[in-house]
Structure 1
């Protein structure tokens, strides 16, 4: 059965089952992980679909994947009444290697030369955040990270989430007539699972389920920095490849 059809059938069955008793019974049941990638109710109904199966805009009986993620993040941070969320990982988090290099400083233009002493230095403590496979704003990541972290630590006693990077000092020399900047990268880890949400109210307002109590996103992937045993991220710092100065890089 196509995952999207499986979700639609499931939430319809769930709504029929609870609808006659009213919305107050929406939290009477916490879905369980089942069938390798879905969540199930006690009556055996499985539901869930990948994020790209959800519509781009919401309606009376449809919801966007972005709203599910945002609402779960808000519930995790603020304990929103009438909303419950959970995340079931498919397997233990896996290290995915170093990410791409990102600038730490602006370009330094060596217009006039100088001695052989280092002329570009950096000493800083970075904040490392998390991300996920559904595009949402940076402010959402904190709450969502805490939701995933709770599941990871319960299942695997694994470090997860945002972290402060180790304070480092790094110096480099930029040759005369060139410009360059300091850059860094760090190891990442990711975990894939199913993210589910249970709405007490099924209306179309804020924190409501657009016609259904239960929704779930399968194959939901969250990414976090790899931490040492002390919980600190050890990043790599390097000088970018020096580029020749162009007109306008130096003051007249």
Structure 2
């Protein structure tokens, strides 16, 4: 009789262990707390917040934009030195860490512009168009062109958002943000270039 009880006891313990292990295996893993994206937070700026303030960090940093060709190319198919006047218009836009245009009517856009003007005493330009005419001296058998590198400024800082009710579990959120845009009233760097035409260019423009 004791052997039967012992066998039954062992079976019960083994069954309990299997159930426990099975329960652990089937238990749902703990879910990570959800957090909003920076874009989702800034979309609430002045559109669901008690306050939304941009705090700039230090003075703007001056940078030079990428140099690129503006206007048409000038091909000299004559035997004499030619001075070509190349008229051009070029627009420089801004970029930022959210990948959206600050020229759009977002609450955080207006907050950013006001903060920049208050902190640094000048307006923020999301877009600037420059027009000019540049002379290029092109030797016989060569092609000339003009490149432009705009003067830019970078501003970085942090948005501080306060909510009346908890938003994703918090009353206060901080969002880092940086933007680079054309520097107001700053002349760009313009450079004239020439090189010999290729055979294909000669055939296309001097044939």
TM-score range, shorter chain: 0.5 to 0.7
TM norm structure 2: 0.61
In 2 relative to 1, CA 175–245 (structure 1 residues): closer, same or farther, beyond 3 Å? farther
SS at match of 2:138: coil
TM-superposed deviation, 1:169: 1.9
Aligned to 1:122: 87
SS at match of 1:221: strand
What are the Cα deviations for residues 198-232 of structure 1, in whole angstroms up to 9, with x where unaligned? 56787xxxxxx6665643223x322222223xxxx
87, 97, 111: which one pairs with 2:54?
87
- The correspondence of residues 125-204 of structure 1 with structure 2, limited to 5 A, is 126-132=90-96, 134-137=97-100, 140-143=101-104, 146-162=110-126, 164-197=128-161
Q: Is the Cα–Cα contact under 8 Å of residues 196 and 217 in structure 1 kept in the other structure?
A: yes
In 2 relative to 1, CA 111–153 (structure 1 residues): closer, same or farther, beyond 3 Å? closer
TM-superposed deviation, 1:116: 2.8
- The correspondence of residues 1-252 of structure 1 with structure 2, limited to 5 A, is 61-68=34-41, 71=43, 81-82=47-48, 85-96=52-63, 98-106=64-72, 108=73, 110=75, 112-113=77-78, 115-124=80-89, 126-132=90-96, 134-137=97-100, 140-143=101-104, 146-162=110-126, 164-197=128-161, 214-218=172-176, 220-228=177-185, 233-242=186-195, 244-245=197-198, 247=200, 250-251=203-204
Runs of 4+ aligned structure 1 residues displaced above 4 Å come to 66-69, 197-202, 209-214
Taking the aligned partners of 1:243 and 1:216, their CA distance within structure 2 comes to 55
Unmatched tracts of structure 1, length 5 or more? 1-58, 203-208
Q: Is the Cα–Cα contact under 8 Å of residues 186 and 235 in structure 1 kept in the other structure?
A: yes
Unmatched tracts of structure 2, length 5 or more? 1-31
What are the Cα deviations for residues 125-153 of structure 1, in whole angstroms up to 9, with x where unaligned? x4433222x1514xx23246643221022
Q: CA-atom RMSD, angstroms?
A: 3.6
Q: Is the Cα–Cα contact under 8 Å of residues 82 and 138 in structure 2 kept in the other structure?
A: no
SS at match of 2:124: coil
TM norm structure 1: 0.52
Pairs aligned (count): 170
SS at match of 2:122: coil
Taking the aligned partners of 1:61 and 1:159, their CA distance within structure 2 comes to 37
